[in-house]
Amino acid sequence: MKSNLTILDQLPSAFLSISHRQIKDLFDTPTLIHLKGEKHPALFISILLHGNEFSGLQIMQEILKKYQTTGGYKLPREIWLFVGNVDAAQMGVRLRDGQTDFNRAWPGTPDPHSDTAVLIRDVMERITQKELFASLDLHNNTGQNPPYGCISAVNEKNKYLASFFNHIAMVFQSPKGVSTMAFDELCPAITLECSTPGNAPALKRAFDLIDDLMHMDHFPTKPLPVHDLQLVKNSATIKINTNITFCFEDDVSNSSDMDLTVVKNFDHHNFTLLEKNEVFAYSKVDKALVVTSADGEDITELIIQNDKGKLSLKKALMPAMISMDKKIVLQDCLCYLLEDY
């Protein structure tokens, strides 16, 4: 099966000012751009794997503006730039209905025969013909989260990458098929979660990290000091069970008709402990939520307690990536649960 990947060796000038909703005017299909630079090996940077997470586009626009010259760019380091889900970006959504998630289609995906997985294999074959310096996948959250990095392989280079972005980072092994995991054996790799789309402090952190990587000759050789980075691990994922109706407490819709109601401002718990017995949702059914471990085992009974419809945790854990967008909750999850690595 042939992918519909477009390959370019230069960027249209309009790229520097275009919005994510206009990106398909430049790139009709997912596009891989090879930009020459002074240093090698190259950086691989992916943006818009989720169409409504546009900080990556803004960051790369600012990077390229900094190094723009008459007739092109004078980059300190070679870059492979992958512009992912252009169809979803045009619509302003995470992904189109019925579409494979662009960040669940990388090597290790449970659905390797999807059109998106075929396209991603094409990307990987092209960018891995030579060594890579690092891989960065730029994302946003829909809920209130600080900027943080996600790594799947805990090694010194990845720890340094994470510490350059912020003092806290998440270690994850699921879901499978995520971009960062595909590079574990190839180069340092990180997902940059740049808070909500357009968040200015997060944009600056990511810009500074990419700019630093373009000038670095090598990663530090000394172990990262322990106090420079707090690592937490994704120990569980909470999803809405099949055929459950749900809402958030501050929805304008009538919550009395719903099977599950999540408390108001639940996303304020991101990266803070949700204490044992602290009620975070109300349910009219026995199993409105499903909790799975990193290896996919159903551990709902070990994590969640239901006291006459009041849902809480059986032990204190730290939620992250809580989304208050109902569609994204159904496409992905309500949140992840973290504990110290």
Give the model confidence (pLDDT) of 196-242 as tens digits: 999 999 999 999 999 999 999 999 999 999 999 999 998 999 999 99
| In the predicted structure, residue 323 carries a pLDDT above the cut 90 | no
- Which range marks the domain in which residue 203 is found? 6-228
pLDDT computed for residue 257 by the predictor: 84
Instruction: Give the separation between CA 150 and CA 148, rounded to whole angstroms.
Output: 7
253 and 146 within one domain: no
Residue 113: CB atoms within 10 Å: 8
Q: Which of 213, 228, 243 is the last residue of a domain?
A: 228
Check whether residue 243 and residue 169 sit in a common domain.
no
Please check whether residues 219 and 149 belong to one and the same domain.
yes
Share in percent of the chain as helix, strand, coil (round to 5): 25, 30, 45
Asked if residue 80 and residue 174 are part of one domain, the reply reads yes
The burial class, CB within 10 Å (0-12 / 13-18 / 19+), for 123 is buried
The three-class DSSP label of residue 297 is coil
Q: Give domain status of residue 268, yes or no.
A: yes
pLDDT > 70: what percent of the chain?
A: 99
State residue 144's pLDDT score. Answer: 80
Do 223 and 239 lie in a common domain? Answer: no
| Whether 62 and 208 share a structural domain | yes
Find out whether 27 and 6 touch, Cβ atoms under 8 Å.
yes
Q: State the average pLDDT for the chain.
A: 94
pLDDT at 194 over 80: yes
Distance set, CA 12 to CA 42, 61, 305 (Å): 20, 12, 54
Question: What value does the mean pLDDT take over residues 274-298?
Answer: 94
pLDDT interval class at 3 (50, 70, 90): confident
Is the pTM value of this prediction over 0.75? Answer: yes
Report the percentage of the chain scoring pLDDT > 90.
Answer: 85
The one-letter code for the residue type at 242 is T
Instruction: Write down the residue that tokens 């300190």 correspond to.
Output: 76
Supply 66's token pair.
């900094």
Rounded Cα–Cα distance for residues 26 and 11 (Å): 9
Is 55 in the same domain as 95?
A: yes
Domain containing residue 163: CATH number: 3.40.630.10
How far is 134 from 158, CA to CA, in rounded Å?
9
Please tell me whether residues 207 and 249 are part of one structural domain: no
Q: End of a domain among 181, 213, 228? A: 228
Contacts of 226 (CB under 8 A, 6+ apart): none
Predicted confidence (pLDDT) per residue in 72-111, tens digit: 899 999 999 999 999 999 999 999 999 999 999 999 999 9
Residue 97 within a domain: yes
Report pLDDT for 324. 85
Query: What pLDDT band is residue 1 in, cutting at 50, 70 and 90?
Result: low
Q: Identify the domain boundary among 179, 195, 228.
A: 228
Residue 254 has pLDDT above 70, yes or no: no
Please count the structural domains in the chain.
2
1 domain-assigned? no
**Where residue 143 falls among pLDDT bands split at 50, 70, 90?**
confident
Co-location of 220 and 263 in the same domain: no
Same domain flag for 263 and 188: no
**pLDDT confidence tier of residue 253, bands split at 50, 70 and 90:** low
Reported as type and span, the H/E element at residue 60 is helix 55-66
Verify that 333 and 221 share a domain, yes or no: no
The answer as to whether 258 is a domain residue is: yes
Are residues 206 and 271 located together in one domain of the fold?
Answer: no
